[in-house]
Amino acid sequence: MFTASTLFRKSRPFFLLLLLHQGTYPHAGSPRSDLIDDHAANERASPGVCKHRRLGRVGGIEKTEADTEPLMQDFAFDTQATLFSGDEPLGKGQRRPAPAIATPQSIERRVDAIDWTHASAELDAHGCATLEGLLSAEACDALSSLYPRDDLYRSRVVMARHGFGRGEYKYFDYPLPDVVDALRTAVYPRLAPLANAWNEAMRIDVQFPPTHAALLRRCHQAGQSRPTPLILQYTAGDYNCLHQDLYGEHVFPLQLAILLSEPGKDFTGGEFVLTEQRPRMQSRAEVVPLRKGDAVIFAVHHRPVQGARGAYRVHMRHGVSRLRSGHRHTLGVIFHDAK
């Protein structure tokens, strides 16, 4: 006889996936739930897990249908990162040195010139802050010119294959280009105090070390050893769906994106978009205007907001609106590494 219990047994994998999608399945590293939170309502559908059918090497990169872990993961699906691991490390003899783009000293001088008190206040108030002219036009052009150099990357993701949008991106392999490594090293110490203050306000019992090298050691000890900095490429009609960049248990709550192309000259459309989902309120959207070389720092997944009864947590997502014409390159600098 066909009963409800029979249906549950036959459909058990489906019910487990449903629980994951609703954010009710427990996972490691979950923040405390006694803070005001609307996390369950903030989940979106994620692509299903697919088998890895090898497509062979293209430009020195091992390809599969799944490519690699998805950039566009939501918090309840952060464990999927280990399932999208079809890429293989490049052979040591296949890589040519990356050209020198900027010295660590020049990057440090540019970072030191920023008004970090103002930037921190903007992050507290709005969840994002613009850093004008963080990179020179020459450095932007040099980084964009690296995109065809497949030997510098560990994997490539075509967004349309996974429902992430349209366009593509490539994750750098270690060793990172000098300018990317210098940005991580110089910017992280400026953000760590704010990240710790945010966690304290949200009653999350995680504190971040003062240097980026120490954060990487923490990530690597937990099995998060794959670099996450990437370059994204868009052409006319491409866009990036709203998402969060989570790659494992250890997540630094702030990240950096630098526009490498000039709006109005290299492309039209393609605005950087943030959304903020607040408990029991409508979501708030913000478009961040950027010029070539400008950077935006923004919250990875959530941040505290002061309310009448204390701090409550809002959930952030980011994306890129549809490109109307031209080509657009962006450098993404995520400070934690991936499984």
SS3 (DSSP) at 147: coil
- Give me the architecture of the 16-333 domain, per CATH: Sandwich (2.60)
Q: Is the dihedral of CA 57, 59, 60, 66 positive or negative?
A: negative
Token output for 185: 């090293």
Give residues with Cβ within 8 angstroms of 73, minimum separation 6: 46, 80, 81, 243, 244, 245, 246, 247
The structural domains of the chain, with segments of one domain joined by +, span: 16-333
Closest CA to 237 of 270, 264, 211: 270
Full pLDDT tens readout for the chain, 339 residues: 545 445 444 444 444 444 434 433 233 333 333 333 323 222 223 333 333 333 333 344 444 333 333 333 333 223 233 233 334 343 344 788 888 899 999 999 999 999 999 999 999 999 999 999 999 999 999 999 999 999 999 999 999 999 999 999 999 999 999 999 999 999 999 999 999 999 999 999 999 999 999 999 999 999 999 999 999 999 999 999 999 999 999 999 999 999 999 999 999 999 999 999 887 888 899 999 999 999 999 999 999 998 878 888 999 999 999 999 999 999 999 999 999
User: Nearest-5° angle of CA 191, CA 135, CA 95?
Assistant: 95
C-alpha 155/C-alpha 172 separation (Å) is: 8
pTM of the model: 0.75
Closest CA to 85 of 185, 171, 204, 189: 171
So what's the pLDDT on residue 39? 30
